[in-house]
Amino acid sequence: MASISMLRYSLPPHAPSSSPNGTTPRFRLLPQLRSTVKTPLPRPVAAAAAAGRTPPSPSFTPSISMSYNLTPATDRLISTAAYFLPLFNGLQYGRFLLAQYPVLGAALEPILPLLALYRSVPYASFVAFFALYLGVVRNPRLSRYVRFNAMQAVVLDVLLVLPLLLQRIFNPGRAGMGYKLMVMGHNAVFVFVVFCFVYSLVFCVLGRTPYLPFVAEAAGRQL
């Protein structure tokens, strides 16, 4: 009995033994104890807070995923062969430049056997044109990479007809200012054709898509 009375007097006078609804109240942290419990800050944030600076925002490093889309060797081979059509048909515009600088003809020696074979076939230009357009461009079984490159070669080959049409319409002759303009135009067309061929050849060998100026947009609309 004495121990019970001593325990009663040891309890705080303001702590109720039960809640009004008869249930035992749950223990809660006192405000003084709650203020002393703190979550440790990360080191960069704690250092910035101690120095009086604005803590840095958390940085997230995005995951980098690299995918390599390798072009098959057959697609690269067909695409490279397609650009020989405008090259063979555009060599005729280089007769003035090659006659003035014969050393440039040495760069064309590796393709002379192919050029001789191409010119030995009757109507080779028309046969190669329709074979490339109907057999490659309009072939849904081939990839878009091959069809786009073939279409660029076809469009470039069609554009090579325009200088000949202009020459026949205006007939500049063999002397005078008209003749000089014709020579300059032929040289410019020849340089442009060779540039497109080398540019496309390198890109096709690497498996990348070449976009020729004045040609790529027209070729893309036809697919």
Residue 72: per-residue pLDDT: 94
Residue pair 175/109 in contact (Cβ under 8 Å)? The answer is: no
Q: What is the pLDDT of residue 115?
A: 92
pLDDT of residue 49: 52
What pLDDT is stored for residue 193 in this prediction? 96
What is the Cα–Cα distance from 204 to 217, expressed in whole angstroms? 18
Nearest to 80 by CA among 202, 220, 213: 202
pLDDT per residue of the chain (223 residues) written in tens, 0 to 9? 444 444 344 444 444 444 444 444 444 444 443 444 454 545 554 554 555 555 555 443 433 333 345 889 999 999 999 999 999 999 999 999 999 998 888 888 899 999 999 999 999 999 999 999 999 999 999 999 999 999 999 999 999 999 989 888 888 878 788 889 999 999 999 999 999 999 999 999 999 999 998 899 999 998 8
Question: How many Cα atoms occupy the beta-carbon half-sphere of 11 within 13 Å?
Answer: 10
